[in-house]
Structure 1
Amino acid sequence: MKEQVVCKTTDIEPGEMMKSDFGKQNVLVCRTLDGEFYAFRNECTHQGAPLDKGMICGATTEESKPGDYHYCRKGEIIRCPWHGREFDIKNEGRMLANPNKKLPGFKLRIEDDDVIVYK
């Protein structure tokens, strides 16, 4: 099994993300507001934009109407910097607009203060 420390838990505050390397692959490590860590390939499935240049945000609910937005899931959505595609961090990186598509993910575990990605 291949594994590597990609960062320390203290490197990423809740609601933030950072890029790192796992071997030759560029990885996006995300930390949701509840303190959980997730890792995905740092590349949008649409045209390969570097997701670390985007943002972690929330989503609007189905009840939202133009000019009247109901916001939810703050700190759980990755938004692509190029075309605004949104991916659900807590649901395997699935695209909000098309849940059949998802970001390639990595297994991750925490040991002491180390965030370790592995296959």
Structure 2
Amino acid sequence: MKEQVVCKTSDIQPGDMMKSTFGKQTVLVCRTPDGEFYAFMNQCIHQGAPLDKGMVCGATTENSEPGEYEYCHKGEIIRCPWHGREFDIKNEGRMLANPNKKIPSFKVRVEHESVIVYK
């Protein structure tokens, strides 16, 4: 099993993300508002945009009425910087518009203050 420390827990605030490396790959390490860590390939599956140049945000619910927006999942959605594709961090990096597609992900664990990515 390949594993590597990619950052310290204090490097990422809840609801934020940062670029790191895992071997020769660039990864995007995300921390959701509840303090959980996730790691994905730092490349949009649409046209390869570097996701670390995008943003972590939320989404509107499907129950929103026209002209009314109910905001949810704050700090749990990655938005691509090039074309606005949105991916759900807590749902395996699945695309909101097409849940059959997702960003490749990595396993993550935290030991003491170290965030460790592994396969």
TM-score bracket, normalised by the shorter chain, equals over 0.9
What's the offset of the Cα at 1:67? 3.1
In structure 1, list runs of 5 or more residues that go unmatched: none
Q: Which string of whole-angstrom CA distances, capped at 9 and with x for unpartnered residues, describes residues 48-94 of structure 1?
A: 00000001100101122443211111011000000000000000000
- Report which stretch shifted further, 103-112 or 63-72: 63-72
Task: Name the Cα RMSD after superposition.
Answer: 0.8
- TM-score between the two structures when normalised by the length of structure 1: 0.97
- 1:87 partnered with 2:87: yes
Counterpart-to-counterpart distance in 2, 1:92 and 1:11:
22
Match in the other structure for 1:14: 14
TM-score with structure 2 setting the length: 0.97
Matched residues in 2 for 1:17 and 1:58: separation? 14
Give 1:23-102 correspondences, 5 Å limit.
23-102=23-102
Q: Which residues of 2 match residues 99-114 of structure 1 at below 5 A?
A: 99-114=99-114
Letter in 1 for 2:59: A
Structure 2: 5+ residue stretches without partners: none
TM superposition shift of 1:40: 0.2
Q: Tell me which residue corresponds to 1:116.
A: 116
Report the 3-state secondary structure (helix = DSSP H, G, I; strand = E; otherwise coil) of the residue aligned with 1:10.
helix
Number of equivalenced pairs? 119
Give the partner amino acid of 1:81.
P
Q: How far apart, in 2, do the equivalents of 1:77 and 1:66 lie?
A: 22
Identity across the alignment (%): 82
* Runs of 4+ off more than 2 Å: 63-67
